[in-house]
Amino acid sequence: MIRLATFALAAACAATTLPAAAQFAKPEDAIKYRQSALFIMSQHFGRLGAMANGRAPYDAAAAAANAEVVADMAKLPWAGFGAGTEGGKAKPEVWKEAPKFKEHQDKLIAETGKLLVAAKAGNIDALKTQFGPTAASCKACHDTFRDR
């Protein structure tokens, strides 16, 4: 009984320290995971863009809710780019230039964090000001690391 408990504890500890890729049953799951997080982010970012660019009426509560999703999603895709998960729209540079890719991740997380602060400020000018730099961080990464 004690041996079983010890084994279970060891397995649980190992699970928390395994590399990200090992959190997925198969590489396709990692690809689906990262694409899903990026897709959800793009949908909510698009709604913020519509408000920032005057294509949709400004709604402070909706802006904050959308920015919340964007900031949360911005943290997720990266665990889905582990070793052995090449494919999807990711260029080989993701793995060949890992430190640079990481810089882009950190930049996006920082910019979406600022976007959330701006959205919570509750005025459209703050949202407009931070929308551009956030979109630029999406684009900068896509230019180097995304196919098509």
Per CB under 6 A, the list member of 36, 42, 105, 129 interacting with ligand ASC is 42
Q: Is 110 in the site for ligand ASC (CB under 6 A)?
A: no
Residue 110 half-sphere exposure toward CB, CA atoms < 13 A: 9
Determine, following the binding rule CB under 6 A, whether residue 102 of this chain makes contact with ligand ASC: no
Residue 5 CB, shortest distance to ligand ASC, in Å, is: 48
- Residue count, binding to ligand ASC (CB under 6 A): 7
Q: In the complex, what is the shortest distance from the CB of residue 57 to ligand ASC, in angstroms, rounded to a whole number?
A: 19
How many residues in the chain?
148
Burial class of residue 128 (count of CB atoms within 10 Å of its CB; 0-12, 13-18, 19+)? middle
Spatial distance between the Cα atoms of 37 and 44, rounded to a whole number of angstroms: 11
Residue of 51, 119, 138, 141 that binds ligand ASC (CB under 6 A) = 138
- The nearer residue to ligand ASC, 79 or 140, going by C-beta atoms, is 140
Rule CB under 6 A: say whether 145 interacts with ligand ASC.
no
CB 41 within 8 A of CB 74: yes
57: left (phi over 0), alpha (psi -120 to 50) or beta: beta
Compute the least distance from the CB of residue 90 to ligand ASC, in Å.
14
Kindly state the smallest distance separating residue 134's Cβ from ligand ASC, in Å.
8
Give me the amino acid identity at 34.
Answer: R
The DSSP call for residue 80 is G
The yes or no reply on residue 46 touching ligand ASC (CB under 6 A) is yes
What the block records as the tokens of 77 is 């895709």
Instruction: Please identify, using beta-carbon distances, which residue of 24 and 115 lies nearer to ligand ASC.
Output: 115
Residues that bind ligand ASC (CB under 6 A): 42, 45-46, 49, 135, 138-139
